[in-house]
Amino acid sequence: MKKGLVAFALLLALALLPFAASNMVVFATMVMAKGLAVLGILVLLRADQVSFGHAMFFAAGAYTAAFLTAAWRDIDLILLLVATLAVTGIAGLLIGVFVTRYRGIFFGMINLAFSMVLYSILEKAFHITGGSDGLRIRRPTLLGFEFSRSEFDLVMFYVVLAVAAACCVLVGRYLLSPLGQALRAVKTNETRVEYLGLSAKSVLLTGYVISAMLCGLGGVLMGLVQGLASPEHAFWSRSAELVFIAVLGGQGHIAGAFAGTLVFEWVRTSAAALLDDSWQLILGVTLIAIILWAPGGLIQLWHRLAGRRTSSDRTGSESGVAE
Amino acid sequence: MTMNIAALALLDGLAYASLLFLVAVGLTLIFGVLGILNVAHGSLYAIGAYATATLGQWLVAQGFNPWLTFPGMIVAAVAVGVLLGGLIERLLLQRIYSKDPVLQLLVTFAVFMILENLQRMIWGVQPYFMSTPLTVLGNVRLLGINYTAYQVLFLPAAALVVLFTLRYFLRHTNMGAQILAVTEDREAATAIGINASRVYFMTFVIGACFAALGGALATPTTSLVTGMGANMIVLSFAVAATAGLGQIEGAAISALIIGIARSFAVYLSPEIEVIMPYLIMVLVLLVRPNGLFGKETVRKI
C-alpha cells in the first residue's frame, strides 16, 4: 500500500514536470521511452537470460512508425502504437520460437545475430529503408487533433508517461502472476520446472514476446520524439546498452529500469560536456564499478543509503512489486 | 559466373577466412577455458591493427627496410595482447570468475566500451592505411589469376602456423596439458597442484594475442576505421558458434565456410554479403544447437 502511494506521488510529480522545468520535457520523454525497452530486458533477466539483440525490436518499432506515417498522412498515434505492438509481437513470436531453444550466452548471441541481420538489411536496402540515413517520421495526429512541433513534444511527454505507467502496472502484475513467477523458476532450475509439468520453453517464449513488445513500444515512442528511424537503432551495441542499463538500475526492479535509464542518459549528456567524446569511457568505468561493488544496481544502493531493509526483507523487494 | 570469378571468390574467401580464424580462435580458446565470452575481443583486434599501422608507418618513415614491417606486425600484436590482455585479466576478470555469466559478459562489454573510446582518443576517426607488407610481397599467379601473394600465400600460411602451433602447444607441452586439465575440471586440477589462476592468465593473454595478431595481419588489406572492432566481435562469434564454442579445429573449418560463402556472396548477390555469416550460423544452429563440432552439455537436476 505504501508502495502504491509512493508510485502515485511520483506519477503526480512527473505529470507536473512540464510546468516546473519545461526544458527537461524532451529529455524526460526520451528517458521514459528508453526505460520501456529496458523494462523488456528486465523481464528476460528474470529468467537469467540476456538478449544482446533486443535493439532489433526497438528499431522495428521506430520503422513501423516511419512506414505508416509515410503511407498515411494523418494516421493516429494510438493506431501507431497498436500497429507496433502487433508487428513486434509477431516478430517476437517468430524469432522467439527459435531463440528460446537456447540459454545463456547462446541465447544472447543468437539474438545478436538476428539484430545484426536486421541492421544490415536496414542499412543496405536503401530504396526501402533510406539506408544509413534512416527514415523521417512525420508527426501523427492524436484523436484527430494536429499539433505543432512544441505542442507535440508536450503531448508526447504525457503519452509516454501514460504508456510507461500502464506498462509498469501490467509488467508488475505479470511478474507476480504464476507465469511470471515461472520465469524465476527457469532461472533457478529449468529441469525442475519441467518436472512440475510446465514447459520452460513456453514460459520463456511468453516472456520473450512481452519483452519484444515493450522494446517495440520504446522504439516507436523514441522514434516519434526524435522524428527519425535510423538503422543505428538496431546495432548490437544498442542492445548491449539496454542490458547495461537494466543491470545498472538493478536486476529485477521495475523502478530500476527507469532509474537506470535516467542515470545512464544523464551521464551520457554530462560526460559530453565534461570531456569531449568520452561518454563510453565514463559509462564503461561506471558499469564495472557497479558490477564489482554494487551488483544489485542503483536500487540496492538506494536501499543501502536509505539504511532500511536488510537481507531479511530482500526477498520481498526482489519479487519486484510494481511501484 | 565464369570460372575466373569463381577462382577469384575462392581466393578472396581464403584470405578472409584466415583472418577470421585468427580472431575467432582466440575467442573460442578463452571461452573454452575461462567460460567467458570476451566482448572486448573485437577491440583487441582493432587496437592490434592500429598499433601495427602506427609502428609500420614509423618504420617506413624512418627509412628502415620495408621487410621489417613483418616482424613489426608480430611485435605490435604481442605487445597489445600481453599488455592489454594481461591488464584486463589481472585487474578485472580475476575478480569476477565466481560471478554470474551475465555479469561477466557485461564486464567485458564495459571493457569494450572503454577500449573503443580510448582507441578513438588515441587514433582519432580518420581511416589509417599501411600496405607496405602487401607491396613488398608482390603478386603471384594462382588458378589463372594475378593475386597479391600476401593474401593468398602469407595469410593462409599464418593461419595454418597458428592452428598447428596451438594444437602442438595444447597436446604436447606441459603448459598445454595444464590448460586442458583446468578446462576439464578446475577443482580437480587445482587439487593436483596446478596453478589454475596462472593458467587462466596465460590463456587469456594468448587469446588476446591472437585477436591482436588478426588485427595486425588485417592492416595491409583493409583501411582501419572506427567500428571495425564492433563488427569483428560479432563475426568472430558467428565463426566460433558455428563451430561450437571451444572447438579450435572446428573454428578453422567454420571460418573457411563462412569466409568463402561470404566472398561468393560478394560476387553473386552483394546485398546478402553482410548477413551471410549470420545466415550460416543460424542455419547450422537450427540443425545442431551446439554447433558443428560442439558436444551436448549434460543438464543438472
- DSSP, residue by residue, B86-118: HHIIIIIIHHHTTS-HHHHHHHHHHHHHHHHHH
Q: Read off the pLDDT of residues A174-227 as tens digits, 9 standing for 90 and up.
A: 888 888 888 887 777 778 878 887 787 888 898 899 999 999 999 999 988 888
Per the model's pLDDT, the better-predicted residue between A55 and B223 turns out to be: A55
Pairs from B163-166 (Cβ < 8 Å, separation ≥ 24): B163/B21, B163/B25, B163/B248, B163/B249, B163/B252, B166/B25, B166/B29, B166/B248
Which is higher by pLDDT, A106 or B211? B211
Q: What is the mean pLDDT of chain A?
A: 80
Residues B59-99: tens digit of each pLDDT: 888 877 777 778 888 888 899 989 999 999 988 888 888 88
> What is the nearest CA distance from B117 to chain A, expressed in angstroms?
6
What digits encode the pLDDT tens for the residues A272-284?
777 767 778 888 8
Mean pLDDT for A105-130 is 81
pLDDT (average), residues A147-175: 83
Task: Compare A134 and B50 and report the one with higher pLDDT.
Answer: B50
A79 CA to chain B: closest CA distance, Å? 32
Q: How confident is the model at residue B296 (pLDDT cuts 50, 70, 90)?
A: low
Please tell me the least confidently modeled range out of A218-232, A237-251, B143-157, B181-195. Answer: B143-157
Residue B210: the pLDDT is 92
* Out of A45, A48, A113, closest to residue B238 by CB: A113
Domain ranges for chain A: 2-318
Highest mean pLDDT among A199-203, B22-26, B58-62, B238-242: B22-26
Task: Phi first, then psi: give them for residue A144, nearest 5 degrees.
Answer: 90, -10
User: Mean pLDDT across the stretch B145-158?
Assistant: 80
- Does A308 have pLDDT greater than 60? no
- Which domains, and CATH codes, for chain B? 3-287 (1.10.3470)
A266 pLDDT above the threshold of 50: yes
pLDDT in tens, B113-122: 899 888 888 8
Report, as an integer, the average pLDDT of B10-19: 88
pLDDT at A320: 40
Res A88: pLDDT: 92
Least confident window among A60-64, B38-42, B137-141, B233-237: B137-141
**Do residue A288 and residue B116 have CB atoms under 8 angstroms apart?**
no
Q: Is the model's pLDDT at B209 over the cut of 90?
A: yes
The pLDDT assigned to A311 comes to 44
Taking the Cβ of residue B172 and every Cβ of chain A, the question of whether any pair is shorter than 8 Å is answered with no
Over range B174-195, report the average pLDDT. Answer: 87
Instruction: Note the pLDDT tens digit of each residue in B118-141.
Output: 888 888 778 877 777 777 777 777
Given pLDDT bands bounded at 50, 70 and 90, which one contains residue A287? confident
Taking CB atoms and an 8 Å cutoff, what residues of chain B touch A277? Answer: 117, 120-121
Q: How many CB pairs below 8 Å do chains A and B form together?
A: 116
Chain B residues with CB under 8 Å of A291 CB are 96, 99, 103, 106-107, 110
Give the pLDDT score at A323. Answer: 34
Q: Average pLDDT of B170-183?
A: 88
Shortest distance, CA B136 to any CA of chain A (angstroms): 36
